[in-house]
Structure formats: C-alpha cells, structure tokens
Structure 1
Amino acid sequence: MDVFTDLVRGFRADGAMFGQSILTAPWSHRFAHDAALTVCTLLEGSGWLLPAAGEPIRLECGDVAIVRGPDPFVVADEPGTEPQIVIHGSELCLSTADGTNLAETTRLGPRTWGAARTGTAALLIGAYQARGEPCDRLLCALPPVAVVRADGQPCPEFDLIKVELERERPGQQLVLDRLLDLLLVCTLRDWFARPEADPPAWYRALADPVVGTALRAIHDEPARPWTVAGLARAAGASRAAFARRFTAMVGEPPLAYLTGWRMTLAADLLTEPGSTVATVASRVGYADGFAFSTAFKRVRGTSPTAYRAGGRYASGSGPSRVPASSVAKPATS
C-alpha cells in the first residue's frame, strides 16, 4: 500500500449520486450540494465550469474536472447563461423560474435526466462525501478545481459508464459506484502527474526507489515498531543516508512522518463507537495509553479523550474540514 491509496480510499462511492443530464442550449446548473468532491465531465458537447472564485474554465468533451467543496459552482453552456436549476440535494433540484422540484419529473431512464433523449450536451456528475481524517490530507493537496484534459485520448472508463447507463440491470448501483471510484482515482492520478499540479512532497517521493519504499512500508504496517534503522533496512539504504534523503524529499524526518500518520489514523479510530484510548493506542503502535496520549496531544493539540468527547477538531486543531451532506441527482434545463 502507499500513501496515495490510503488517502483516496476514504472517498468511496456508496449509493452516490451518479448520473447524466441530457441538455439543450441554453443550459446552466448551479450545484449547491456541499459535497466534499464532485466529479464533472461532458460525455457529449462542451461547456464551462464556473467555480465560486476564479475565472470560468472551458470544458471540452471528455475533460474531467474535480471540484473541491463545499462552495457551490455552476456548469453551463456559456459563462453568461443564468442557472435554470439549483441542485441542493438528492431529492431537491429546484427550478429558478418557479421553485418546482425537478428531481423526478425530468427522469428519462435509469440515472438519466432531461427534457428529451437528444440534446447538444450530456453532463455526467458524481459527488462524494469525505470519510475520515485521511481525506483531509488529500483535499488539502488539491486546488479548488483540478481539470484533466482529454487531449484526444480515449477514456475506457467512459465507455463502461455509457454502457451501464443505457439500461437498468441488477446490481447497477454497485457497478456505477465502482466505476465512479475508478474514474476518480484515475483522474486524481493523472492530475498529480501533470506539470501544473505541483503535487505534495509525499506524492513526489513515492517515485523514489528508497523513500517510496519506506513510505509504502509505513502505510502497510503503521503499528509496527519502526525505527529509522528499520526503515532504512527496508528501503535498502544506510541509516544516515536514508534519514537525509527522506527528510529532504518528504519535508520531515521519517519518525515525525510516522507519528503524524499514526495520529491521523488514531483520530478516525477515536470516533468509532466503543473505542477507548487504550485500544486505539494499541492499534496505532503504542504499548500504553499514556505514551499515545502524549504523542496525540503534541500533534493534534488536544488529548484523545477530549477529542473523542468533543468530536473532530473540537479544539480547533487540524486542517479545516470540507463538509459534505447529501448529494444531488442531475436534472435538466
């Protein structure tokens, strides 16, 4: 396992909104669903994505945009087209003209919405809630909008999605969930590989034969009693050379990174029903609750007990959470 896998796995579709809208110009949708991440792509036609801040972004057929929440955004045929629909949730897609809920009245078939089966564009939307502390690290590494251009290259995920959307079959939601996960992972991986992405240090370090090996070892067995010498042996390097290389590439010493990742895992575990400080300490590699509590308070700024009692970031420590609530079915103009 590697750090990218650990961070992305918290974004897992489970009955997620995933469907297409068949659109005829002029069209414009405003998404106000508070999802942590939204995947947008045009299966047909072209359009514009208007983020909450910044300039409009042109989307050609096959481009994939990942929009970081919770701020609302608009997808339209032209930047100047006023939204005809505001999407608030899975059962609330309101017409801006008269407030009518269009979530059900415009359904054309399984996960397809529109006024007619033909149009000038087909917009595919999938929205995610963030599950767990590791998601925060990934969200912090992303810009408000990340776009991976098709550049004329075929996307096998699109072909699979189109086939699955054509007709309703047993297990379709499960298949669509997994296809959405596949599209998200592939898009994120392609984004971080692009020169404009400026990926975080931990992502760049994965390609290094020494540091990448150590990172995978840490994420494979975070509770193992790792030492710098032990990680160096696993990476096939001397202790001193490994420590220098790891710190230079990741931005912090190996054991500081290990402790930070353990505390990220611990913060999630502390929110589980029935968890105790002692059981969480054991699961993240600490022999006793006292040593774990000391490390947790040093890294998170609050004790494990206070964190568990007050909820996530009760003391104001930690990265700013990107909230997510219900997600929306696409509607039509």
Structure 2
Amino acid sequence: MVDPLAEFVTLLQPGAPFSKMVSAAGSWRVRRAEAGRPFYALILDGSCRLDVTGHAPITLEKDDFVLIPAAYDFTMTSREPPAPDVADTVPVPLSDGVFRVGDPGEEADLRVLVGYCVFASPDAALLVSLLPRLVFVRGEKRLSNLVQMVGEETRERRPAREVVLARLLEVLLIEALRSAAGTAASPGLVRGLADIRLAIALRRMHEDPARPWTVAELANEAALSRSMFFERFTRTVGITPMAYLLAWRMALAKDLLRQNGLAVSEVAERVGYGSASAFSVAFTRHVGLAPMRYGRERPEGEVLATAAPRAAPASAPAG
C-alpha cells in the first residue's frame, strides 16, 4: 500500500544546513520576520512562549517540539515577555553552535535546540502549501531523540554526513507530521490523512495517479456522497480533490523530468495524460515552462526558492 505521507516527504528532499543550542535566562524576546524557511525547535529544559502569526500564543515546555514548514513571522520570548517598548534581544555566541539570550548573570532557565532545514524539491513551495502552517507536538520522546540526532549530525563532520542527515530529516518530518495528525492541525495533507474516509481517497490518488479519477469515483472510494466528499475534502485538505490531484501529478512530473531524463510522452503516461501534447499544455500552464525545457534547465525562481540558506552569523536570533 502506498503511503502518501512518506511519498510526500521523500519528494520534498529535506536537508538540515544549520542548528544551534540556545540557553536563556530572565526576560527576553527574539523575533523572526524573513523569507520562509522551515524552522524547528525542541525544548530540552525549561519553558518559553511562541507567537506565530495567525495562531494563538503557545507555551512550550520540556520535550515539546514545534515545526513551522514556512516560517515568515514568529516570536519566541520568556514565559513573561518583555514590555512591547523593550528592544528585541540579540543572542550572544558562546561557542560554535551555542548561543545565549537574556540576562547573562542569571542561571539559565531554558535550553532549546533550534534549527532550519531546507526542502530541495523544485516543487517545494507547492508541497509545503499542503502541510499544516504549524506543527506542535507535546512530550514525544521518540521525536526528541530524532531532533537531537539531527543537531549532533549537523555539527559533526563525520563521513557520509549529508546522506545521514537526509535520512534523519525524512524520518523526523514523518514522525512530526504523523504525531500531529490527531491534533487540530490547519488544513492540509496531514489533516486529510487523519480523516479515515478522506485518507482512503488520498491513498488511491497516490497509488494510481495516472488513473482518470473523477470526484464521483473518489467519493465512492471514501464511501461518501459526491457533494459530502467534495465539501469535506476541500475543508480538510484546503483545496478541491481535483486541484490536489493536479498538484500531485505535476509534482511527480517535475521529479520525473529532472531525475530520470524520461521522454515527455512517458512522463505524460505516468501522470495520467493520454497524449504528450495534452500533458505539455497542462504542464506549461501549471509550471510556466514547457516540459522539455523544464527537463533541461531548473528555472531561476525555483533555484532561489529552494537554495540552502547561508549559515547564520554569530549575531543571528535564536529563532
């Protein structure tokens, strides 16, 4: 049986270029507002507060894990945040990959491992749009162990480091997303897979993306009426069933064109198009480039969107 979540994460091609350990004491506030990069944090000791635009503030405690697949605007503070007119805190580097925020004279009351990962898929923006905007998991020791392994591997220069990191990140993302599946996640693939009826339809689309699916056929797979299935899928996943199927087909097509050097006609057949011309029209409309051209060159915008960020300078905020 095809596992949509595993396929999804594998296609994202996650990597982990940077992580750091941060200790804190007293009153402090670190703010991030930048181009979206997947951000994660694991609370090792103590507690703090996280404010993410569009979500209620969360108090993070020991062993809590948070993942923001496309972090644009968020703030981490001490449990009692400083007054609004107090300047944001600038983290102080203590050693390679270790930072301090807050009052340097007080004993640390928080230790947190934070980091950024990258998604190397040329379709990362579309795939990330199908993830929850915020993944929050409480008290999962298995997840904590994985995050710490990622942090250790990021800092060490061991043989096969990049291969190990890629595999660890895949496992970490799958574990985080499936741990969050039962929570009140925002619309997306994870929330859809948590719905037993919708999960059947999603699996069928992933098992056989080339089949000429209709909403009625997918509703029948989910044992729901057509109208109920359409409304429930759109509300839970965030897009219509046919929009999801198109997005997944185009993501697969991009991967096939870039990785395998297949003929356009063969790619068209694998993703459900009866002719190369029909596929070319759909692909060009969706991607902005003809399939043959896309297979020869990576579009400039996608390079910029998925390039690994430079290592943060010593004065980079803890978030």
TM-score of Structure 1 vs Structure 2, range by shorter chain: 0.5 to 0.7
Structure 1 residue matching 2:248: 3-state secondary structure: helix
1:125-144 → structure 2 map (5 Å cutoff)? 125-130=114-119, 131-133=121-123, 136-143=126-133
Q: How many angstroms apart in 1 are the aligned matches of 2:287 and 2:13? A: 29
Aligned equivalents of 1:268 and 1:312: distance in 2? 17
- Residue 142 of structure 1 aligns with an amino acid whose one-letter code is P
Aligned match of 1:222: 209
CA 1:2–1:47 in structure 2 vs 1: closer, same or farther (change >3 Å)? same
Alignment root-mean-square deviation, CA: 4.8
Residue equivalent to 2:143: 157
The answer to whether the Cα contact below 8 Å between 1:56 and 1:79 also exists between their aligned partners in 2 is no
Residue 290 of structure 1, aligned match among 256, 266, 277 = 277
Q: Which has the larger radius of gyration?
A: 1
> Aligned partners of 2:200, 2:74: CA distance in 1, in Å?
39
Structure richer in strand, relative to its length: 2
**Is the aligned partner of 1:83 residue 2:65?**
no
Q: Give 1:94-105 correspondences, 5 Å limit.
A: 102=93
CA displacement at 1:39 relative to structure 2: 0.8
Name the aligned partner's letter for residue 281 of structure 1: A
Q: Check if 1:123 corresponds to 2:112.
A: yes
- SS at 2:49 equivalent: strand
Counterpart in 1 of 2:20? 19
Look up the match of 1:261: 248
* CA deviation string 1:249-306 (max 9, x = no partner): 43498777544421232245556696764453244243531121244356x2856359
Q: What is the identity, as a one-letter code, of the residue corresponding to 1:132?
A: P
Contact 1:74–1:83 at 8 Å: present in 2 too? Answer: no
The structure 1 residue matched to 2:233, chosen from 247, 250, 253, is 250
More helix by share: 2
Q: Which deviations, in whole Å up to 9, do the C-alpha atoms of 1:105-147 show, x marking residues without a partner?
A: x326xx544589x73211111212232326524435423x443
For residues 312 and 201 of structure 1, do their structure 2 counterparts lie closer, same or farther at Cα, with a shift above 3 Å needed? same
Is residue 264–residue 292 contact of structure 2 (8 Å, CA) maintained in 1? no
Give the gaps of 5 or more residues in structure 1. Answer: 87-94, 96-101, 315-320
Secondary structure at the residue paired with 2:129? helix
User: How many residues were matched structurally?
Assistant: 296
Task: Find the aligned partners of 2:213 and 2:147 in 1 and give their Cα distance.
Answer: 46
Relative CO higher for 1 or 2, CA cutoff 8 Å, sep ≥ 6?
1
What's the TM-score, normalizing by structure 1? Answer: 0.64
TM-score when scaled to structure 2?
0.66
Tell me, yes or no, if structure 1 residue 187 matches structure 2 residue 176.
yes
Q: In the superposition, relative to structure 1, how do residues 257 and 113 fare at CA in structure 2: closer, same or farther (>3 Å)?
A: closer
In structure 1, how many angstroms separate the alpha carbons of the residues matched to 2:258 and 2:22? 38
1:206 Cα offset (Å): 6.1
1:66 equivalenced with 2:55 (yes/no) = no
Q: Distance in 2 between matches of 1:28 and 1:155?
A: 27
